[in-house]
Amino acid sequence: MPRKPKKHRGLFERPVGSGIWWICYFDQYGLKHREKVGFRSTAIEEYRKRKAQVSQKKFNPEDVRQRPERGATCR
């Protein structure tokens, strides 16, 4: 029986079993952010990087990919 991987705070897989991992964290302004990352190992590294940026107050929410506004067309 294979071992279950250790749970990490701020990581989740959506949909479960797909292998696509997301990170979830709060910035220095108290706003919640979720980012689609990809592999689990990459998600762990990215989460640590984001939390370090937030604690050093170097995180800029505009640098993170934003979803397009509703009703906007992509050309």
Kindly report the pTM of this predicted structure: 0.76
**Distance of CA 38 to CAs 1, 30, 57, Å?**
25, 25, 25
Residues 6+ apart with CB under 8 A from 23: 10, 11, 34, 35, 37, 43, 46, 47, 50
What ranges do the domains of the chain cover?
A: 11-63
**Distance of CA 65 to CAs 5, 17, 34, 37, Å?**
28, 25, 10, 11
**pLDDT tens across the length of the chain (75 residues):** 778 778 889 999 999 889 999 999 999 889 999 999 999 999 999 999 999 999 998 888 877 766 666 665 655
